[in-house]
Chain A
Amino acid sequence: MSHHRNLNHQAAHFITNERGSFFVYFGILIILLFLSTHPLFANTDNENQCIACHSDYWEEMQASIHSRNGVACQDCHGGDPAQADQALAKGPETGYIGVPEKDQAVQRCGNCHANVEFMNPYGIRTDQLARYLTSTHGKRVMVDHDMKAAACMDCHGYHDVIAVSDPNSPVYPSNVPKTCNHCHGNERLMEPYHHPTDVFDQYRESVHGKALFEKGNLAVANCAACHGSHGAVPPGVKDLGATCGKCHVNEKKYFLESPHAAAMVEGKFSECTSCHGFHDVQHPTAALYEKACLNCHATGTTEYQLGQAIERELNNAEQAFEKTKGTVKQAAIEGFFVEEEAANLEEVKTHLIEIKSVQHTLNNHFLTERHDAIVKSTDEIERSIRHKRLSHKQRQWMLVPIWVFIVIMVLVLYRKYKQLKNQKD
């Protein structure tokens, strides 16, 4: 009976196992069917006959954003990847173009990237081709057929194009200057265009370059921020302010109130670069007034004197702030409560940073107002700390009467003790 039950149990187990295996196999089949229709696997090694000869390019493409989204050889090169025969695969009716010329490649990229409907699911802009056609690069390639000028793949790569957001992408913000420098640092390539080739070296040492390469600040200006990327052009004299003003909003606002704004309209003055330079722009200090003003104004002129006066006020304000900052810090170390003074110092710091933007007005009245506010506040903070020190000293002196009181009390108590003792005796 027990044997019989065991057999039944085994049979049931077998059936269950078999049914289980069936579902596993069926599941695998369904997954394979699904994968075969998925764009990621749309052009597998079996279907794409190009790979038979060009496995190296296929290898390069594997990690690219294009292969992951179903873009394959024929989308850029034409041809019929389904044909195993080379002649048929590259037949005239297949649209085969082989290695595309730069202008052809730009159009090929544009076939998808300028197609709003096609690019919509990817959330990518579609004006790159339109912008490229307006760029100096684009005009050289598409109009002049100068194939040495940059096109899409010179910046983004060829078969191994990765997403712009990938830190390894040549157009990731921190890589843009190096990518531009591939061509713009090449003397032989730049010679016909009379372009300087030391721009990258200048940029690397600039305040922007240091912020990008040393501090990893991706928001800082790189080549594309000023020149544009797809629509890259050299900014003209009148565009410079708009270019710098994209980030330096307040500086631009105040500059437009300065006497230089009129000179800029007349084309005599380059909004920012006349004083700050461009690729090699350094962190500006008040000392710039000694150098930059002399570019146009002689030492004896009123304009130069104004510059000197502004420099003095800026230095004064900075020194007053630094001195008071030191006083507050020292007082805190000594154990004084300086919360109020520290909070006031924050306000002075705000004025000091603000004055650096306001100086672009070159309006001495505005600047003197702020300079005086800074000096007044720092004086008040200094006075408050002095008062606290004095009060601390007075408290120390207050110990003298307390000690005198204690001594008197001890003497009186002793005297009383003697009296009581005498009475007892």
Chain B
Amino acid sequence: MSDMKTNHAEQPETSRRHFLDWILKGGFLATLLGMFLPALTYLWPVTRRGPVGGMVEVGREDDLAVWGAKKISIGESPMILLRTPQSFKAYSAVCTHLGCLVEWSADKRLIECPCHAGFFDVEGRVISGPPPKSLVGHTVRVVDGKIFVKL
């Protein structure tokens, strides 16, 4: 009878210990995951598409036809990327007059500011209109068919 009492007293003691162990194991695992996941997410993008030497990938060479252009945005810098038969060019899309965003005029083959009819050539130089200076240019490199622009 007394043995039975002891057994009854030990059973809850054992299950409580098991319960505590499970919580500890679970907690340990959760802590490990909490440590590894941010480290993985930190490493992952760097190997995939992170900035390398200040160059940012903005698209593929084949996506842009000769004498074509597209608007890109690197951080908070709106830019215009255009392709001439010789090379790719990237300029700040912010007009040097009042800060409107410039557009590529395909028929004129010029960069045009829609606000006050300012025109820039493919070198970013002012052709006509009120802009006081050239558009700010950015270095463009093409590596393995990918276009990189330096901020």
- CB of B114 within 8 A of CB of A350, answer yes
Q: Which B residues, 73 to 126, have Cβ-Cβ distances below 8 Å to chain A?
A: 73, 75-78, 93-94, 98-101, 114-117
Q: Given A249-B129, A349-B99, A354-B115, check contact A342 B24 (CB 8 Å).
A: no
Q: Which residues of B contact A409 (CB under 8 A)?
A: 23-24, 27, 31
- CB distance A219 to B73 under 8 Å? no
- CB under 8 Å from chain B, chain A span 334-353: 338-340, 342-343, 346-347, 349-350, 353
Cα separation A253 to B114 with both chains bound (whole Å) = 12
Number of B residues whose C-beta is below 8 Å from A? 26
* Chain A: CB-nearest residue to B132: A219
Pairwise interchain contact A343-B115, C-beta atoms closer than 8 A = no
CB contact under 8 A between A353 and B115, given known A346-B94, A408-B23: yes
CB nearest to B128 among chain A residues: A249
Determine whether A88 belongs to the interface, using a CB cutoff of 8 Å to chain B. no
Asked if B59 is an interface residue, CB under 8 A from chain A, the answer is no
Which of A340, A349, A415 is B20 in contact with, Cβ under 8 Å? A415
Question: Which residues from B are CB-within-8-Å of A253?
Answer: 117
Given the known interface contacts A250-B115, A357-B115, the answer about A412 and B20 at a Cβ–Cβ threshold of 8 Å is yes
- Mark out the residues of chain A between 140 and 156 whose CB falls within 8 Å of any chain B CB in the assembled complex: none
Residue B17 is within 8 A (CB to CB) of chain A in the complex: yes
Which of A253, A408, A419: most chain B CB closer than 10 A? A419
Is there an interface contact between A413 and B76, defined as CB atoms closer than 8 Å?
A: no
Is A416 part of the contact surface with B, judged by Cβ < 8 Å? yes
A405 interfacial by beta-carbon distance below 8 Å = yes
Instruction: Report how far A275 CA is from B124 CA in the complex, Å.
Output: 35
CB contact under 8 A between A342 and B20, given known A249-B116, A405-B30 = no
A11 within 8 A of B: no
| A405 with B116, Cβ < 8 A, contacts A339-B75, A347-B101 known | no
A183 to B149, CA, bound (A): 57
Most B CB within 10 A of own CB, among A350, A354, A357, A412: A350
Contact A219 B115, CB 8 Å, known A339-B76, A343-B76, A419-B20: no
Residue of A nearest to B23 (CB): A412
A346:B75 contact, CB within 8 angstroms: no
Quick check: B73 and A353 within 8 Å, CB to CB? no
Residue numbers in A under 8 Å from B94 (CB-CB) = 346
A388-425 Cβ-contact flags toward B at 8 Å (1 or 0): 00000000000000000100110011011001000000
Is A63 located at the chain interface by the 8 A CB criterion?
Answer: no
Contact of A350 among B20, B31, B77, B100 (CB under 8 A): B100
Among the listed B24, B77, B101, which residue makes an inter-chain contact with A412, where contact means beta carbons less than 8 Å apart? B24
Contacts of A339 in B (CB 8 A): 75-76
Q: Report the Cα distance A340→B76, complex, angstroms.
A: 6
Does A32 lie at the interface of the complex (its beta carbon under 8 Å from any beta carbon of B)? no
Q: Out of B20, B73, B130, which one reaches A343, CB within 8 Å?
A: B73
CA separation between A419 and B130, bound complex, in Å? 83
Name the distance in Å between A325's Cβ and chain B's nearest Cβ.
12
Assess whether B100 is in contact with A353, with CB atoms less than 8 Å apart: yes
B41 to chain A, nearest CB (A): 15
Instruction: Select A247's contact among B20, B76, B130, beta carbons within 8 Å.
Output: B130
A347→B75 contact, CB < 8 A: no
Residue of A whose beta carbon sits closest to that of B119? A249
With A219-B132, A419-B20: A353-B98 Cβ-Cβ less than 8 Å: yes
A250→B116 contact, CB < 8 A: yes
| A102 and B116 alpha carbons, distance in the complex (Å) | 43
Task: Scan residues 286-329 of chain A and give those whose CB is less than 8 A from a CB of chain B.
Answer: none
Not counting A249-B129, A338-B76, A354-B100, a sample of 9 additional A-B residue pairs whose C-beta atoms are within 8 angstroms of each other reads A250-B114, A250-B115, A250-B116, A253-B117, A350-B101, A350-B115, A353-B99, A413-B24, A415-B20
Q: Could you pull out 20 A-B pairs where Cβ atoms are within 8 angstroms?
A: A219-B130, A219-B132, A247-B130, A250-B116, A253-B117, A340-B73, A346-B93, A346-B99, A346-B101, A349-B100, A353-B98, A353-B99, A353-B116, A354-B100, A354-B114, A409-B24, A412-B20, A416-B20, A419-B17, A419-B20
B residues whose Cβ falls under 8 Å from a Cβ of A? 17, 20-21, 23-24, 27, 30-31, 73, 75-78, 93-94, 98-101, 114-117, 129-130, 132
Q: Lowest 6 A-B CB distances belong to which pairs?
A: A342-B76, A249-B117, A339-B76, A350-B100, A353-B115, A350-B101
